[in-house]
Structure 1
Amino acid sequence: MAIDNKTTRVCVIGAGFYGLEAAKTYLQVDPTISLTVLEAEDSLGGTWSRRRIYPTLRAQQKYGVYEYSDFPMDTTGVADPHTTFIPAEKLQEHMEQYAVRFGIKERIRFNAKVTKLERATGGGWNIWIQGDTAPSTFDKVIVGTGLTSNPSLPELDTTGFEPPAFHTRELGAHYAWLTSPEVSTITIYGGGKSAIDAMYMCVKNGKQVNWIIRPDSVGNGAAPQLAADILGRNTNDVISSRMGAMLQPQLDSCEGWWYRFLHSGSGLGYWLHWKYWGWLSSILMAYAGYDKSENMARLRPKNVDHAAFWVNVPTSITNQPESIAFIHSGEKVKVIRSEITALEGTYVVLSDGERLHTDAVVFATGYNKSEPIYSPELAAELGVVTDLATYPPHLREKWDNLDMLADQEVVRLFPRLANPPMPNNKPVKNAPCRLYKDILPPELARKNDRSLVFAGAVGVASTAIFSGPSALWGVAWLTDNLSLDELGVSQAEIEWEIAIRVAFGRRRYTVAGVYGTYALFEWLPKIDALLMQLGVQPRRIKSVLKDFFLPYQASHYRRIVDEWMQLRGLK
């Protein structure tokens, strides 16, 4: 079908959770657009695409939390959804159904890997796709590739290595072979949540696992093993209420009585706050039983003092309780704190010279926060993570000055963060992600350029709930239905907010927050701030007491797009 020259050509890069939400929201706000969703893989889902998932994989959230706000997940046959972690297959199915229901799937181009994004002559954006001989041009672009698209792999020569070696994102594709009789011993390299999931899958299928994690002296440590429930309450519920948010330092909540009582640095409340976190930490540390076996002792977090408060690396909620027993037993899994220095023949060579025979190596080594689709100049303009060696000197000078002042302000607001027990002393090689509200590049805000935004550029504890309000804010900007001038937000205020959030993340989350892409516990106040700018009521639970104590679910944000459109006279 021919496209009218006046039709707005919109491209969403990535068909993961954020990308699908952004595509649906844009279509709902403006059904006249010509929408294309580009997906590098052969199925939608992003982290939950068919190639990545496998039978034992579970989400870290339970039913009601990890679902689209306006498309409840089918819980037929689930005895108690509130206490059941969502199987990966169920989540992938939910996303498929969502894409079909809202007319998105027919607009997805699969196996379309974006290799380059650049400005088009005369406005808009050129997007180069692997295999195409010419770029596709769009008026508006939403980059929804998230934080798990570009695997980080160790620098190891695999030329003479015989067994397959691959990243955890390929586990689903290799599942049938890994669980076959051909494979008996598997090496897993890395200490994060994906490593725990991979270990459980392998041991559950009767494989012997050598689980190698770099020593604390050179690595980031192992992900803390958090209980699924705390004192009879769902762990997600504890951190998904306003009360739970209040107990965390929050840049969006640094005024009022509760802030002064708990976070300002003195008095009974400050003392009680730290006692609470010490008590909670002792419960969580006892759950894993780090002193009960040599294997589990090797997984002890780098920091044990108030470990529940200080988050060095992304945490792991134990959604397969049997995994704890597997680790303690040591029968099928051996935890080794070392580095892999070479892969030779059928052997993994460790830094102490030990050689371990293996049938496969699984790299659970996380993801790069940068994407190779931008030129250095464009990366700097868009505020994405980029190499400092190519960062423009004038921008570096400006942000260095702002960062220094912002860091001082964070310490003033939250004295608790003045001396984190696990400071990141490693050289910082990249400029951090600098986006206003984790969505809008500040340089585009300066130019009132409404042609590009990001979706999913920050890691939060509740992806599904955060995705809706952030998608709506981004679409409001792209469609010229959000004016920062009318809101009284200056360019200086935009840049200061970005600087203070980066500074906060670096102190609050040390390693995980170094590049401004991690805000685990801040998602509810962040949503409040987005909705207030949009003019939508952020407090979604009518009773004041219930709004304070009850956990927020995806369903609480079910009609926010309709509410906003009515306010704007768009329906």
Structure 2
Amino acid sequence: MGGMAELQNVIVIGAGWYGLAAAKSYIELHPDKKVLVLEAETTVGGTWSRDRLYPGLKSNNLWGSYEYPDYPMVEEVYGVGYGQHIPAAVLHRYLTDFAKEFGVFEKVRFNTKVTTIEATPSGGWKIHVTNSKHEGCSDVLETEKLIVATGLTSEPNLPCYNGQETFTPEFFHAKDFCAKADTVKNCKKAVVVGAEGNATVDLVIRPTGDGPVWLCPPFVTPFKRMMEELLSTRALTWFSPCPWGDEDGYGPVRGFLHRSGIGNFMVGNFWNTLSSDVVEAHGYNNHPELFKLKPWQSAMWTGSGVGIHNYDTNFFDLVKEGRIRVHLADISGLNGNKVNLSDGQIVETEVVICATGWKKESALTYINFDKGLRHTVEARDKLIQEADEKVFQSFPMLKNQPVLRHEAKKGEPLRNYRFIVPSQSVFAKNIAFAGMVSTVTTATFASIQGLWISAFFDGKLARFPKTDDEVVKEVMLHTQFGKWRYPCGYGASLPDFAFDSIPYVDLLMNDLGLKNHRKGSSMAELVESYKPSDYRGLTQEWISLLAR
């Protein structure tokens, strides 16, 4: 690296699902503009990049729900079909093919890690980068507009324990499972820290955490519907409180369900039934070891952090057989090859794998730029109070928050307009964050956020706020809602989506002025699941709309 780099029109940071989609949209709409994609890894793919794959890894999503709208994952090409989870190697190949098909791949600079983002007086950006493979090799790039698509799985959250410096077994985050695959393969004893999980495995779940995740079969209900299909079925989304829910055009129905006694009763029954079906299917109450894995709260309070069975081997059978031993305890320390637990047990192991999640705030440093709201503490507190009052007025059931085993998460959540643009940059139209959300509807979100960002940069959205005050009030309402909606999920720190996903897509589609009801009939609109294929050809629709 080094030398004078030419000014780019747009730089995209990250070549995962969201970065590739955002670059694709911008390139299609601006074929003559200079676009550069920066990627720290050696390949595209983000979570599915080559160096993060390991044997047996596959998607939670089933085929048909995890593909870009304009690039079907054709069964004859990729060897995956209906009802199947997608192997990681196939996903890596698919994302690479997509990048090449739409002219993104040739614009990617690999092994390029962004360290600092600096706002310039002209309204542009200086991007400070280093070479991921060669320390000390740095460069500064310049661009007019910036898309940050680093995602939520870039910086591992690795715990530190007493005695770790003298601990002899391998100790690593799940992100490095690929690099450590041979080590794990030969181990006879392993400890997994976290609620996700021919060796004996000790699964350690903190009693002061959020507890076991909801782990669902891929096909649910007596009608054997795909789990992710339920989350994307419009009529079922009505049962989830959502401040942008009226974007789907069914405001009166939502109002009845969430602001009337009878409606609240129906909503409560919906969530109780959903939770009870999973509990019964897994027999949590019928076996003492399985009972340790029973989620502590109703599925109502959990957002996108829901697991889906995607392996032939039954996880719960392994627990009943004693091959997976569940411990509800903290790790009090490490000693030699032993893990000491807070309940007094001592576990010998050959490896510790930390499935302890990710740091939701990226490690990027910002200069001359504030991502937060521009308000004094007093003004901010008043805005929070007003937003909370509106949330509880619209959705009274959210007042009955679950009793948590830990303190409510503190700190400032990501407060972005439409969960994309920092509030202070809405009218500058020079920066956007793609994929700073948690959802199971990744492929659809990535594509529509990408198109929305291009339209936003160009100042051509059909609907746009007029004042800073309008922006701030909406941002505060949406982000405070997340705190109360998903206290057992990510809602207090970042946008979390489950049954709120399709209404959010409606929100962005309405901003673009595009048709958001895309099914063939009124009945299909309500009961058929929305999939990426329903949004095929959006860029062409957008171009036609602009030409009118």
TM over 0.5: yes
Aligned counterpart, 1:437: 418
Equivalent in the alignment of 1:190: 194
Residue equivalent to 2:148 = 143
The match for 2:391 is 410
Give the structure 1 partner of residue 281 of structure 2: 287
1:498 maps to 475
Structure 1 distance, partners of 2:543, 2:385, is: 40
1:274 aligns with 2:274: no
Q: 2:185 aligns with which of 156, 174, 179?
A: 179
1:227-246: per-residue Cα shift (whole Å, max 9, x none)?
A: 22222221111121111212
Residue 521 of structure 1 and its aligned partner are, at CA, apart by 2.1
Partner of 1:227: 217
Distance 1:313 1:11 in 2: 29
Scaled by the length of structure 2, what TM-score is found?
0.92
Q: 1:168 aligns with which of 168, 174, 179?
A: 174
Partner of 1:517: 495
1:8 CA drift (Å): 4.3
Cα distance 1:160–1:80, how it changes in 2: closer, same or farther (>3 A)? Answer: closer
Deviation at 1:77, TM superposition (A): 8.2
Would the alpha carbon gap of residues 129 and 4 (structure 1) be closer, same or farther in structure 2, given more than 3 Å must change?
A: closer
Let me know the Cα RMSD of the aligned residues: 2.5
Query: Higher mean Cα deviation, 129-138 or 44-53?
Result: 129-138
Relative contact order, CA 8 A, sep 6+: which one is greater?
2
Aligned counterpart, 1:63 = 63
Matches within 5 A, 1:284-323: 284-303=278-297, 307-311=298-302, 314-320=305-311, 322-323=313-314
Aligned-partner residue type, residue 177 of structure 2: L
For 1:138 and 1:481, the matched residues in 2 are separated by: 21
Structure 1 SS opposite 2:352: strand
Unaligned runs of 5+ in 2: 131-135
Partners of 2:387 and 2:12 lie apart in 1 by 33
Residue 382 of structure 1 aligns to which amino acid in structure 2? Answer: K
Offset, 1:280: 2.5
Distance 1:237 1:289 in 2: 24
| Cα shift readout 1:158-184 (whole Å, capped 9, x = no counterpart) | 32122221111111222133113xx21
In 1, are the aligned partners of 2:461 and 2:513 still within 8 Å (CA)? no
Change (3 A) 1:256 1:124: closer
AA aligned opposite 1:113: K
- What is aligned with 1:475? 454
Does residue 526 (structure 1) correspond to residue 517 (structure 2)? The answer is no
* Structure 1 Cα separation of the partners of residues 141 and 79 of structure 2: 48
1:549 aligns with 2:541: no
Equivalent residue letter for 2:391: V
Moved more, 153-162 or 100-109: 153-162
Partner residue in 2 for 1:243 = 235
Find the aligned partners of 1:221 and 1:320 in 2 and give their Cα distance: 22
- Tell me if the contact between 1:288 and 1:324 (Cα under 8 Å) persists in the aligned partners: no
Identical columns (%): 31
Q: Quick one: distance in 2 between partners of 1:481 and 1:312? A: 32
Q: CA deviation at 1:58?
A: 2.2
- Residue 134 of structure 1 aligns to a residue in which SS? strand
Provide the rounded CA distance (Å) in 2 between the counterparts of 1:366 and 1:213.
13
CA contact (8 A) 2:437 2:494 kept: yes
1: CA distance between counterparts of 2:281 and 2:93? 33
- Counterpart of 2:357 (choices 352, 358, 366) is 366
Distance 1:171 1:253 in 2: 39
Question: 1:444-486: per-residue Cα shift (whole Å, max 9, x none)?
Answer: 12xx2122101001112201111111111111112332376xx
Amino acid at match of 1:289: G
Aligned position for 2:133: none
Q: How big is the shift at 1:270? A: 3.0
- Taking the aligned partners of 1:114 and 1:4, their CA distance within structure 2 comes to 17
Determine if contact 2:203/2:325 at 8 Å carries over to the other structure: yes
Query: What aligned pairs does 1:39-78 form with structure 2 within 5 A after superposition?
Result: 39-76=39-76
2:252 alignment partner in structure 1: 257
Q: Secondary structure at 1:113's aligned position in 2?
A: strand
1:337-360, Cα deviation, whole Å (9 max, x unpaired): 111122222222222343222111
Helix, strand or coil at the partner of 1:117:
strand
Aligned residues: 534
Is the partner of 2:435 in helix, strand or coil? coil
- Structure 1 residue runs of 5 or longer lacking an equivalent are 197-205, 384-390
User: What amino acid sits opposite 1:212 in the alignment?
Assistant: V
